[in-house]
Chain A
């Protein structure tokens, strides 16, 4: 195995690999910065191009797009509170608050550094521990997934701030909204009132943009103070000291993200929120989170990027993609004559290591690419509001339409926008709503699978075979309670 690694290292050191990867990173960042024009689509479109390139060039190209896209998603989240994916939601909170304080550049810088750190650390960890991770992945099935998702929701509600009851109400509302459409197990209709457009459920992107971005934009319009710009300056760049202050958080988030990446089915959203909640809990000033705390941005970004490394493991060792992105990578691998699966390392070990090593270098290159691009982006918020806001609305609508090519989504965007404004006025936080909405269906599905697996004997199943899941389920309420108490200790608004 070591000789494969060394050989792979040599193979990765090529100019064209690096150039193409840089191109991918940059383009990915641009595409990711447009909510709705998902990097997934960009990767799928560019997939055939990768067929014509050599594997050591084509696959890192796709990986570059993916990584660039992930950071790209944080850009609108921070600048205009418009998260394009669930993973960017946690970032948008503190990120946008920082933008309003004139520190958009710092926020973007922090997001970049935290992302790169989390991603690199998790990639290196994966390369070194790929086979033990593969064994670990196998241990997690539907019962474990259900338990962890439930625990995550409890943690999110407990750490949300002064009033967990309001947070829970919003979370439950989100869970209910998620159940509109067809039920994930049987495909029967729920709460659709016979309207066909609702049959596939409420789409995520219009909800995200609607509840996060539109109220902020509307607030500016409604207040109509003689505020000419969203932020007067883009601010200075992040200083080493500021990053150093958040370093512990970044490390903690990286560990959290990597662990979550190992459990199949959780993904970046859970990682970002767990990292954020953990940082909030560990901080001496948790009430500052949400008002422009750099640590919040760092925590969310490091965690959601740290998921990437372990996600590749089932793909490489079993040939089974864990999500849509790895599915595209699977296509790329197969088209290049690589056969992900048990044989992959024996037959093509060097190439695989080369690709993984290229992935690590992609992160480092991105540090430079991102850092140079940030000033351009962060300056955007200094455009005067009467020009910026109409353009933002246009992007929001275009992205919403492109997401599913469905014009009813545009109306949903407006409806959620209205909802978001009302919730803001009623002082209900929408983050638990979105989390409930995103995590509800996988949780219900996992629960349904679990019940199917028990085949009638629930007690024996849980206590005998899947004691891990049972342990997590038992512990969750306690953890929730402890976290809530911790929040109470610090005086809040």
Chain B
């Protein structure tokens, strides 16, 4: 019973929030800056630490309560989708992290095209023509729509940006 209690996602989550609340409250002074003073009176009517201290205190207390309830309740034992599922999830998030980091350095169109291609393969698409078509058309169309129609900017390499503004 004890072992399964400690390992369920629910408990871990509650524990994390508990620590967050506790630590945050303890270190509140160094995490929140001091407000300035005008004519000897504080510039703000309430201190910046007021709300956070209330929030963190309650969070700590409630997490403690939740853990106690968990402990005394029947076993939760609901396995998440098994180890294979989590591995796939890790790969998925890995791809997305690379995408997030790469978009600005290598530009929207290229990074999106690569991500789409990789994800399509990962999810199980085996139709190469389809993958290439979607990976190329999707980002380009979205880029054009965003920059020409909606006048917003997406990160793009200088060369490609110039080429596109020359073509369209």
Contact with B along A211-224 (1 / 0, CB 8 A): 00010001101111
Q: Assuming A386-B123, A426-B10, is B52 touching A218 (CB within 8 A)?
A: no
Taking each of B35, B52, B78, which has the highest tally of chain A beta carbons within 10 Å of its own beta carbon? B52
Contact, CB under 8 Å: A41 / B93? no
Q: Smallest Cβ distance from B22 to chain A, in angstroms? A: 12
Contact with B along A406-434 (1 / 0, CB 8 A): 01001101100110011101111000000
Contact with A along B136-168 (1 / 0, CB 8 A): 001100100010001111110000000000000
Chain B residues with CB below 8 A from A42, complex form: 150
Chain A residues with CB below 8 A from B62, complex form: 165, 168-169, 172
Contact, CB under 8 Å: A394 / B142? yes
Contact of A397 (CB < 8 Å), options: B65, B100, B135: B100
Which residues of A in the span 193-225 have a Cβ within 8 Å of any Cβ on B? 193, 214, 218-219, 221-224
- Give the size of the chain B interface in residues (CB under 8 angstroms): 73
Interface residues on A, range: 35 or more
Taking each of B66, B99, B123, B134, which has the highest tally of chain A beta carbons within 10 Å of its own beta carbon? B123
Main secondary structure of the interface of B (DSSP, over half): helix
Q: Smallest Cβ distance from B103 to chain A, in angstroms? A: 6
A285 close to chain B: CB less than 8 A: no
Q: Smallest Cβ distance from B72 to chain A, in angstroms? A: 13
Contact of A448 (CB < 8 Å), options: B45, B134, B151: B45
Which residues of A in the span 64-95 have a Cβ within 8 Å of any Cβ on B? none
Q: Smallest Cβ distance from B39 to chain A, in angstroms? A: 14
Chain A residues with CB below 8 A from B116, complex form: 390-391, 393-394
Query: Which residue numbers of B lie inside 8 Å of A, CB to CB?
Result: 8-10, 12-14, 17, 20-21, 24, 31-36, 43-46, 48, 51-52, 55-56, 58-59, 62-63, 65-66, 69, 78, 80-81, 84-86, 88-89, 92-93, 96-97, 99-101, 103-104, 108, 112, 115-117, 119-120, 122-125, 130, 134-135, 138-139, 142, 146, 150-155
User: Would you list 7 pairs from A and B whose C-beta atoms are within 8 A, ordered by A residue?
Assistant: A41-B150, A188-B48, A221-B123, A384-B125, A411-B97, A418-B93, A440-B51
